[in-house]
């Protein structure tokens, strides 16, 4: 079921399955900013990555001497969320543990996703509660695919800061240990599909906390991610979209020991504690 929010100019649509954003549209000029989800390229729009970001070595981990299987990016995107609050311009979705999640992730939790539509910005807030009687490890990440309907090389990314970006290269969804340096030109990165020949660009750390998308040098959209430590950028050859993905967490290294508490950049929530982070998509 799709939930609609709108103001005088913009509308958004969110599917209760995965609490996934599938439309962010300027209603005045009928311009869509979210990828349509054509399965010829990629059949999703903006999945939520929880309780892990990226892949685990052997798609599994150990906890209390027991092995658990957990596929890449976790399971939040696969479940129906409950709506616990709604107004014309905001909605809160909730997912709690169930028999199926406990087979993969033996923790009692609540994941709330709040969408707030302001004048020209969509704010997305993640609130995670640990309801277990033990520490709970987790990652959280976003995966919005932003529509680029023109020739891909028309577009570029402008980072908040002029900096040298180091991308950590993936092999079979794990970090191989190899890195590649990407030099920005006045904070600008022209887009071409060759950048993604080895999968996503993964910046484990970076100074910039926002990225603009430019069409022939003219900025039209900005992703702000101050609360997030890492960033993924991804597309598929010939696909008319770019994913700008704020992450807290990332994939395993090939040398991972399989202990989820030892996973690099894992977050640990104490019993009965909570965590919150937000990012926004801003139309310029």
**For residues 219-244, average pLDDT:** 97
Full strand arrangement of the beta sheet holding 20-26: 2-6, 10-15, 20-26, 31-32
Spatial contact of 236 and 42, defined as CB atoms under 8 Å apart = yes
CATH entry, 2-283, from 3.10.20.30, 2.70.98.10, 3.90.870.10, 3.10.20.90? 2.70.98.10
Total-model pTM: 0.96
**For residues 42-50, average pLDDT:** 97
Cα–Cα distance measured from residue 274 to residue 47, given in angstroms and rounded to the nearest whole number:
22
**For residues 214-232, average pLDDT:** 97
pLDDT-based confidence at residue 278 (cuts at 50, 70, 90): very high
Flag whether pLDDT at 183 surpasses 90: no
Over the range 55-89, which residues count as b (16 or more CB within 10 Å of their CB) and which as e? bbbeeebebeeeebebeebbbbbebebeeeeeeeb
Q: What proportion of the chain, given as a percentage, has pLDDT over 90? A: 97
Q: What proportion of the chain, given as a percentage, has pLDDT over 70? A: 100
**For residues 265-276, average pLDDT:** 96
Cα–Cα distance measured from residue 37 to residue 145, given in angstroms and rounded to the nearest whole number:
9
Flag whether pLDDT at 270 surpasses 90: yes
**What's the mean pLDDT when you consider all of the chain?**
96
pLDDT in tens, 92-140: 999 999 999 999 999 999 999 999 999 999 999 999 999 999 999 999 9
Flag whether pLDDT at 194 surpasses 90: yes
Q: What is the pLDDT of residue 110?
A: 98
Spatial contact of 211 and 223, defined as CB atoms under 8 Å apart = yes
pLDDT in tens, 158-180: 999 999 999 999 998 999 999 99
**For residues 3-12, average pLDDT:** 96
**For residues 251-258, average pLDDT:** 93
Q: Which residues contact 196 (CB under 8 A, 6 or more apart)?
A: 234, 235, 236, 237
Cβ–Cβ contacts within 10 Å for residue 156, how many? 18
Residue spans of the domains in the chain: they are 2-283
């Amino acid at each position: 079921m799709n939930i609609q929010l709108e103001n005088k100019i913009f509308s958004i649509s969110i599917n209760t399955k995965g609490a996934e954003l599938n439309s962010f549209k300027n209603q005045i000029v009928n311009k869509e900013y979210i990828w349509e989800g054509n399965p010829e390229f990629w059949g999703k729009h903006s999945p939520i990555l929880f309780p892990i970001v990226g892949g685990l070595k052997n798609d599994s981990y150990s906890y209390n001497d027991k092995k658990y299987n957990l596929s890449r990016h976790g399971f939040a995107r696969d479940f129906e969320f409950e709506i616990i609050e709604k107004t014309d311009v905001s909605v809160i979705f909730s997912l709690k543990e169930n028999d199926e999640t406990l087979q993969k992730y033996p923790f009692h939790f609540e994941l709330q996703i709040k969408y707030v539509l302001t004048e020209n910005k969509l704010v997305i807030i993640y609130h995670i509660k640990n309801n277990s009687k033990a520490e709970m490890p987790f990652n959280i990440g976003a995966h919005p695919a932003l529509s680029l309907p023109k020739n891909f090389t028309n577009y570029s990314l402008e980072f908040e800061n002029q900096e040298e970006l180091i991308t950590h290269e993936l092999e079979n969804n794990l970090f191989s240990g190899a890195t590649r340096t990407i030099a920005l030109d006045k904070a600008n990165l022209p887009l071409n599909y060759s950048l993604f020949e080895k999968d996503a660009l993964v910046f484990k750390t970076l100074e910039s906390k926002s990225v603009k998308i430019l069409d022939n040098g003219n900025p039209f959209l900005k992703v702000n991610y101050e609360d997030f430590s890492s960033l993924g950028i991804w597309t598929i050859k010939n696909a008319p979209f770019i994913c700008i993905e704020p992450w807290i967490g990332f994939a395993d290294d090939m040398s991972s020991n399989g202990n989820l508490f030892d996973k690099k950049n894992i977050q640990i929530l104490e019993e009965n504690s909570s965590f919150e982070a937000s990012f926004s998509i801003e139309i310029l």
